[in-house]
Structure 1
Amino acid sequence: MTAPTPLPAQQAAPAHPAPGYASPIPVVRTHIGHAIASEWTKIRTVRSTVWTLLSMFVVTLGIGTLYALSLSGEDYVGMPLLAGGFFGLMLGQLGIITLGVLVISSEYGTGMMRTTLTACPRRGRVLTAKAIVFFLLAFLMTLAAAVPTALVQLAVLSDQEVPSYAVDDAVMEDSIVDGEVVASTDQVLGATLGAALYVALLGLLALAVGALLRHSAGAITVMLGVVLLPLLTALFLFGESVADLRDALIEYSPLNGLASLYGIPMMGDELDSGWPLLGLLALVTGGTLAAAFARLNAGDA
């Protein structure tokens, strides 16, 4: 029997080592576009988004249409031609505010935010992507509801003849031409583009509050207080000693800002339009978003 050949103590390394494992998934440098695509996928595949936006659209257009039909037989309404859109959007905006909170607070409630931040460690990029996607969606959907509502007001309430006693009405100063009620260019822009920007900013403010509080019910409650509480508080301030406070609460309330864009400011003729209040809302929203960025970057998920 032949003895086995002894193994060499050490074999020479191969001249060309075998290649390691290569992932079939290409490795690319991520950017803000990937985060936006991810947030768009999230928001459009959640049922609450569809139902919230649908309810906003139905309420805004439905109440605006009912308002116009209820006054269609009147000779003179005494309000700007597009004012009826305010009453629908006053309630419809609550859907945008609710969705703004849920966009981020729901991830904290389910623990999904940890997964999101693991996939995208740059926390500021996550909040930026959420803000961009939500703001554009809220703006476009509100505009889609405001435009047909304005068209309904124009179709149903046009050709109102103005009586002689109402020609000098300060509220209707920009709405009366040759004895008829018309909608000026500024009023059309305010009731469509301006209203959509205002509601979208309120929704973005709600998103920032949700990022700060990280609790759905708490953030929604805070936002309802921001929208409703100033005006409700002013209603109970009767004394002359608090008249300045009462006027300030009404003038700078979010509802007055929206009403002013429709030409029906709650302070009478003291505000010419809602565009200055729209700018003020943008500043408040920007400051709240900055605070939300600071907290998110603090490190706690």
Structure 2
Amino acid sequence: MTAPLPPAPTPPPSYGYVSPIPVRRAHLGDALASEWTKIRSVRSTVWTLGTMVVLMLLIGLGVAAIASGQGGNMGEESALPLGFFGMLPASICVITLGVLTISSEYGTGMIRTTLTACPSRSRVLTAKAVVFFLLVFTVTLIVSFAVATAQVAMVEAAEPTAAEWARATVGTALFLAVLGLLSMAIGALVRHSAGAITVMIGLLLLPLVAALFMFAPALKGLQEALFTYSLPSQMIALYSDRPPFTESGPAGWEALFILVGVAVVGVGGAYALLNNRDV
């Protein structure tokens, strides 16, 4: 006769703890909230956008005051193209912020934490692009509208049309926001703040500066192309219904469309490399 089996051990008590925090899959909204928290928390955002606002206001109003004080009459032209003088230096601030939006995380190593929390690299880059674009567009739209309104009131010139108002306000905001997206893409490609900012400043100024020193007749075609398609020239063309330098160059919204095409290529390259290389 076999001995009876020993009793089974008593299982440890179960406390039945359930976390009150609901568990769900992360989505793009979570990434957007995270990127918004980042971009509004760092000092670089305040400094760059604050400087951009000051430059657009001071230069835009200063140019209008000079034009008005000298008794200049722009005739059939409106006063809105004067906004270009503030738009050009403001673009440097947008370029800097666009690069820092992503390259600063590579410099501090924060990008590892970001990609650990959100392994989908495309989602991270999309969230950064959306938050950055909406922030720059909103701030620039408000400031450009204020500057344009003041310039029209201060300078004796023709009454602007609805199309001219749209390009001087919405067009300006879109142009700078898209330029910032291109800068963010370069920051993702280079992964170094100083290097990426240098590349973008060179892209902004070098073509126009190089064209100024092309005196040889053989370089005339290249000189005209650089004058026509350099970024400062595109900013001037955005304010005009006709090409500012040549008969066949872009004018009006065409300048914005060209920049959008370049930005699409840059952002596409950033997506491709971000998904196919180590941090």
Confirm or deny a common fold (TM above 0.5): yes
* Aligned residue-pair number: 272
Match for 2:187 among 210, 214, 219? 210
Contact 1:250/1:266 (<8 A) preserved: no
Displacement of 1:136 after TM fit?
Answer: 0.7
In structure 2, the partner of 1:86 is 84
Deviations 1:102-124 (A, max 9, x none): 00000000000000000001111
In structure 1, the partner of 2:200 is 223
Structural mapping, 1:258-297, within 5 Å: 258-263=235-240, 266-267=244-245, 270-271=248-249, 273-297=251-275
CA RMSD between the two structures: 2.0
In structure 2, the partner of 1:36 is 32
CA distance in 1, matches of 2:179, 2:15: 56
Residue 190 in 1 paired to residue 167 in 2?
A: yes
CA distance in 1, matches of 2:26, 2:184: 24
Residue 256 in 1 paired to residue 233 in 2?
A: yes
CA distance in 2, matches of 1:23, 1:299: 37
Identify, as 1 or 2, the structure richer in helix.
2
In structure 2, the partner of 1:166 is none
Displacement of 1:252 after TM fit?
Answer: 1.0
Structural mapping, 1:49-60, within 5 Å: 49-60=45-56
- Which segment drifts farther, 285-294 or 212-221? 285-294
Contact 1:256/1:265 (<8 A) preserved: no
- In our comparison, the structure showing a higher alpha carbon Rg is 1
- Which segment drifts farther, 265-274 or 280-289? 265-274
One-letter amino acid of the structure 1 residue matched with residue 202 of structure 2 = G
One-letter amino acid of the structure 2 residue matched with residue 155 of structure 1 = A
CA distance in 1, matches of 2:138, 2:247: 30
CA distance in 2, matches of 1:277, 1:69: 28
In structure 1, the partner of 2:152 is 154
One-letter amino acid of the structure 1 residue matched with residue 123 of structure 2 = R
Over 3 Å counting, the alpha-carbon distance change for 1:238 and 1:80 in structure 2 is farther
One-letter amino acid of the structure 1 residue matched with residue 265 of structure 2 = G
In structure 2, the partner of 1:200 is 177
Over 3 Å counting, the alpha-carbon distance change for 1:18 and 1:299 in structure 2 is farther
Residue 234 in 1 paired to residue 211 in 2?
A: yes
Over 3 Å counting, the alpha-carbon distance change for 1:151 and 1:80 in structure 2 is same
Q: Percent identity?
A: 50
Deviations 1:166-196 (A, max 9, x none): xxxxxxxxxxxxxxx2212221111111111
5+ long unaligned stretches in structure 1: 1-7, 161-180
Deviations 1:69-97 (A, max 9, x none): 11114142465411111101110111111
- Which segment drifts farther, 21-30 or 205-214? 21-30
One-letter amino acid of the structure 2 residue matched with residue 292 of structure 1 = A
One-letter amino acid of the structure 2 residue matched with residue 222 of structure 1 = V
Displacement of 1:61 after TM fit?
Answer: 1.3
SS in 1 for 2:80: coil
Match for 2:73 among 67, 76, 79? 76
Displacement of 1:275 after TM fit?
Answer: 1.2
Displacement of 1:201 after TM fit?
Answer: 0.6
Over 3 Å counting, the alpha-carbon distance change for 1:232 and 1:277 in structure 2 is same
One-letter amino acid of the structure 2 residue matched with residue 150 of structure 1 = A
Structural mapping, 1:102-121, within 5 Å: 102-121=100-119
Deviations 1:33-85 (A, max 9, x none): 00000000000011110111111011011101000111114142465411111
5+ long unaligned stretches in structure 2: none
In structure 2, the partner of 1:3 is none
- TM-score (ref. length: structure 2): 0.91
